[in-house]
């Protein structure tokens, strides 16, 4: 079993899965979020086991290559795509505090969309003209007057695995 560093694991994963139909930036292989709790890093629906050797975390190269190949082999059938309604905006204060730590990718994506819509709204107006129109779903099915192209442009390359800065503030 060849043990490799988290940075090399990320490089292998990115190279092998580069042509995947599902764009992915596997920074969790390096950051190892919540690794101490369960000894695995989860990317998509694949759990990759981590090993500790001489106080350093490593991966089995075969596990990385298998997981990356699974993403590379993923085919997207656009006939199987369904329209999902974006959840309405809500302040963090409205949530039950027991649910704050619960991981929810839909909530994360929605928070990025609302953050982008608010940022666009505030950039285009003097602060006296700011209102809550960015919280309502607009003509494009996204918050405010945000378009899909604007959203992907503001989030591309950000390597986001957690909510946008200033989430809900």
Give residue-wise pLDDT tens across range 29-51.
777 666 666 778 877 778 888 88
Q: How far apart are CA 11 and CA 14, in angstroms?
A: 5
Tokens, residue 77: 């059938």
Domain ranges of the chain: 3-78, 92-155
Give residue-wise pLDDT tens across range 92-111.
555 555 555 555 667 777 88
pTM given for the model? 0.48
The residue to which tokens 């940022």 are assigned: 119
Please indicate whether residue 102 or residue 129 has the higher confidence score (pLDDT). 129
The band of 11, judged by pLDDT with boundaries at 50, 70 and 90, is: very high
């Amino acid at each position: 079993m060849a043990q490799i560093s988290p940075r090399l694991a990320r490089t292998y994963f990115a190279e092998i899965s580069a042509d995947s139909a599902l764009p992915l930036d596997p920074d969790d292989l390096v950051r190892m979020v919540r690794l101490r709790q369960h000894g695995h890093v989860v990317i998509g629906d694949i759990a990759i086991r981590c090993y500790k050797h001489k106080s350093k975390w490593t991966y089995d190269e075969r596990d990385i290559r298998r997981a990356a190949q699974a993403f590379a082999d993923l085919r997207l059938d656009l006939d199987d795509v369904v329209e999902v309604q974006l959840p309405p905006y809500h302040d963090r204060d409205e949530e039950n505090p027991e649910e704050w730590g619960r991981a929810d990718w839909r909530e994360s994506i929605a928070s990025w969309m609302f953050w982008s819509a608010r940022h666009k709204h505030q950039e285009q107006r003097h602060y006296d003209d700011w209102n809550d129109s960015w919280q309502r779903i607009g003509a494009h099915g996204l918050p405010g007057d945000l378009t899909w192209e604007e959203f992907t442009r503001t989030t591309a390359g950000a390597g986001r695995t957690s909510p946008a800065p200033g989430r809900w503030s």
